[in-house]
Chains A and B, each alone.
Chain A
Amino acid sequence: MKQHYSMGDRIFSICNYTMFGIFTLLCVFPFYYLFIQTISDNSLSASGQVTWYPKGIHFSNYVEVLKVKGLSNAALVSVARTVIGTIGTVIGSAFLGYLFTKRKMAGRVFWYRFVIITMYFNAGIIPWFIIMMNLNLTNNFWAYILPAIVSPFNVILVKTFVESLPEALEESAEMDGAGTIVLFSRIVFPLIVPIVATIAIFSAVSQWNSFMDTVFLMTNDKLYTLQFVLYKYLNESNSLAAIIRSGQGMENIDLSRVQTSTSIRTTVAMIVVTPILLVYPFFQRYFVKGIMIGAVKG
């Protein structure tokens, strides 16, 4: 980019860099803030005396949390559902989204709408649970994967993206006599890498973050996920509240037993969030402008 920038350009650039700088700081701070709480002296952080930098640094919170039973298994389940689930969603939604761009498909508009409006359906937990149970998807790892394969939102994204591509490429390939599957995997898929990367990120994050399916479908602790472990920590004071509302036997309550300290819970939150953060930069390289066009040409 060896260009002569005008004055306006330069001012714009300065403003642009500064604005993004400030907003980035705003986004990072809370995360940083949580982090320094977890490595600061627990009594100092509990009484709100840790604001800008850690005080009395220690890592015993992390040591403590890593000792929690079942954590490594939960991590494994989380990773498995994220990887397998993401592959499933990417392939399912990308292929379906692509098919919906085919004007020749029988009842295309109907089927497209058939898929899309399910985004707004909410039948409630119980009927959903009963269906899952009848499919034998309780205490079954595939309950994490199968329902996620077709994601209407991702289907829309892919369809819109494919439609915005120049049609010439595909048409020429079609004339060569390539079948739909081959066409999709050889020609279309490389073209839609940016949107595939996007839905992969979306799907990975939502797989990693979900816990309600674990709550309802899993009673076997071998299938618990990391998010579920965190969720349980955050729910602890529920039971205390439930007990006091029922008004019996409160005099025996032992606070330290029913309530895990804030520092431990924050540490769990950190541990749960960190891995998924590392995934994003990995996908980011697919967003670099021009890579796709270049690839097709080359």
Chain B
Amino acid sequence: MNPVVEPKRKRVSFTISTRYRLLLYAAPFLILVLVFSYFPLYGWTYAFFNYRVGFPLFDTEFVGFKWFTSIISNEFQVREIVRVMKNTFGISTLGLITSIFPVIFAILLVEIRTNWYKRVVQTLTTLPNFISWVLVYAIAFMLFSVDSGIINKLMISLGLQSGPVNYLASPDHIWIKMTLWSIWKTLGWSAILYIAAITSIDQELYDAAKVDGAGRFRLMWHITLPGVMSTFFVLLLLSIANFINNGLEQYFVFQNSLNKDSIEVLDLYVYNTGLVGYNFSFATAVSMLKSLVSVFLLFVANQLSKWVRGESII
């Protein structure tokens, strides 16, 4: 066998120090990371070539930084990029602000004393997470469409609008609408983490505070909330690093020509201009840039956390 299950008494005979023994335990996992996450990075070299899949890399033309500069090579392109980055920042900022919602959700949910009700709520609110965005859009279309959508029927019969409206086409408040959709879809699911964190809070803390005469709200504020904050800050930091990665699917299914101006985030723009499909080098350049920006943001956020909260997270 291996040292892992060796009987304790033999440990003294090990010459290897604890420091390296711990590293040795981690080694198989680190090797997995190396193989599956680091090895593929050799592909970043493609970004500097006119790479065509199936041919040896050095048979293809070396182009230097051409693909990195190609999307901002003229004034019109710059304007497009500025617009796209504005959307990316807007939607990401809303996402960061609303990332506190699952915390609130979890804290309030724990306050529900009826056990069956709590369980039902907890289970059913995760449902939207399991439906893909394509299906979410199909449902949204059935609800909001002009002729058969219930929302239009409802609004007209209530006399709130004179004729049907195509809600999905409207470009108004699209950032907020997108944020609401994603909250709806992920709220119950994201709260799981915080619910788990709350369960690990020492019950004695609550008991002691109750003895001191603390009410329900003070318990929530002074014990539950601080108890989940470390998890929250870790996740916040991780999502700051994802600032320019909004993902594609949600925006792709909800986009249309009328709302495109304000819904097109970076990922969607790269997809829409059709470049990823056939221009492999360009796609690599984009994902390389995005990776670097994300890692940079991660360390910036970590540094900020060090200054502000006195502890670093990674």
Q: Are chains A and B touching directly in their complex (CB below 8 angstroms)?
A: yes
Does the CB pair B284–A161 fall under 8 Å?
A: no
As a 0/1 sequence over residues 20 to 52 of chain A, the CB contacts with chain B under 8 angstroms (1 = contact) are 110110111011011000000000000111010
Within 8 Å CB of A288, what residues of B?
199
By beta carbon, the residue of chain B nearest A88 is: B32
A17 x B148 contact (CB < 8 A): no
Q: Mark A158-188, 1 if CB is under 8 A from B, else 0.
A: 0011011110000000000111111000000
Q: Could you count the A-B residue pairs with CB atoms below 8 Å apart for me: how many are there?
A: 248
Q: A111-132: which residues lie under 8 A (CB-CB) from chain B?
A: 111-124, 126-128, 130-131
Cβ-closest chain A residue relative to B32: A150
Q: Does A157 contact B (CB under 8 A)?
A: yes
Is A157 a contact partner of B131 (Cβ separation < 8 A)? Answer: no
- Residue numbers in A under 8 Å from B217 (CB-CB): 8, 12
Which residues of chain B are near A17, meaning CB under 8 Å? 112, 114, 117
Contacts of A117 in B (CB 8 A): 295, 298
Q: Nearest CB to that of B24 among chain A residues?
A: A106
Closest to B22 in A: A105
Q: A84 vs B54: C-alpha distance in the bound complex, in angstroms?
A: 34
Interchain CA distance A282-B284 in the complex, whole Å: 42
Specify which of B22, B202, B287 is in contact with A99 (CB 8 Å cutoff).
B22
CA distance A31 to B135 in the complex (A): 10
Give min CB distance, B265 to chain A, whole Å.
Answer: 16
Q: Do the beta carbons of A194 and B43 come within 8 Å of each other? A: no
**Pairwise interchain contact A126-B8, C-beta atoms closer than 8 A:** no
A-facing mask of B7-34, CB < 8 A → 1, else 0?
0100100000011111101100110110
A74 within 8 Å of B (CB atoms):
no
* Minimum C-beta distance from B26 to chain A (A): 5
**Chain A: CB-nearest residue to B128:** A27
Given contacts A23-B125, A27-B184, A120-B242, is CB(A9)–CB(B216) below 8 Å? yes
Chain A residues near B125: list those with CB within 8 A.
20, 23-24, 27
Other-chain contact of B109, A20, A26, A112, A116 (Cβ < 8 Å): A20
Whether A181 lies near B5 (C-beta < 8 A) is yes
Q: A62-70, A214-222, A273-281: which one contacts chain B?
A: A273-281
Q: Mark A79-108, 1 if CB is under 8 A from B, else 0.
A: 000000000000010011001101011110
Q: Are B196 and A112 in contact (CB under 8 A)?
A: no
CA gap between A187 and B294 in the complex, in Å: 36
Task: Give the dominant DSSP class at A's interface.
Answer: helix
Instruction: Return the chain A residue nearest B139 by Cβ.
Output: A30
Cross-chain contact B196 with A287 (CB below 8 angstroms)? yes
| With A33-B139, A120-B295, A178-B8: A290-B108 Cβ-Cβ less than 8 Å | no
Q: Which of A150, A163, A182, A209 contacts B29 (CB 8 A)?
A: A150
CB-CB contacts below 8 Å: B221-259 with A:
230-231, 234, 238, 241-242, 245
Given the interface contacts A24-B125, A31-B131, does A111 sit within 8 Å of B4 by beta carbon? no
Residues of B within 8 A of A115 (CB): 29-30, 33
- Known A104-B19, A127-B43; judge A292-B199 contact (CB<8 A): yes
CB-defined contacts of A164 to chain B, threshold 8 Å: 197, 200, 230
Question: Is A257 positioned at the interface, with any CB of B under 8 Å from its CB?
Answer: no
Whether A146 contacts B314 by the Cβ 8 Å rule is no
**What string of 1s and 0s marks CB contacts (under 8 Å) between B270-304 and chain A?**
00000000001001100100110011001000000
Which residues from chain A contact B65 at a C-beta distance below 8 Å? none
Contact of A157 among B38, B111, B117, B193 (CB under 8 A): B193
Q: Using Cβ atoms and an 8 Å threshold, which residues of chain B touch A223?
A: none
Say which residue of A8, A49, A123, A284 sits within 8 Å of B287 (CB atoms).
A123
B82 interface residue (CB < 8 Å to A) = no
Find out whether the CB atom of A124 lies under 8 angstroms from the CB atom of B43: yes
Check A111 against B26 for contact (C-beta < 8 Å).
yes
Instruction: For the complex, give the distance between the alpha carbons of A243 and B35 in Å.
Output: 39
Chain A residues near B135 (CB, 8 Å)? 34, 266, 269
The 8 A-B pairs of least Cβ separation, nearest first, read A127-B43, A48-B148, A120-B294, A118-B37, A105-B22, A123-B40, A106-B19, A127-B40
Some 14 contacts from A to B, beta carbons below 8 A apart, are A16-B108, A23-B187, A24-B124, A30-B128, A92-B32, A96-B26, A122-B290, A150-B29, A160-B313, A161-B197, A166-B202, A276-B130, A284-B123, A290-B203
Which residues of A line the B interface, CB within 8 A? 1, 6, 8-9, 12-13, 16-17, 19-21, 23-24, 26-28, 30-31, 33-34, 47-49, 51, 92, 95-96, 99-100, 102, 104-107, 111-124, 126-128, 130-131, 135, 146-147, 149-150, 152-153, 156-157, 160-161, 163-166, 177-182, 194-195, 197-198, 201-202, 205, 209, 234, 266, 269, 273, 276-277, 280-281, 284, 286-293
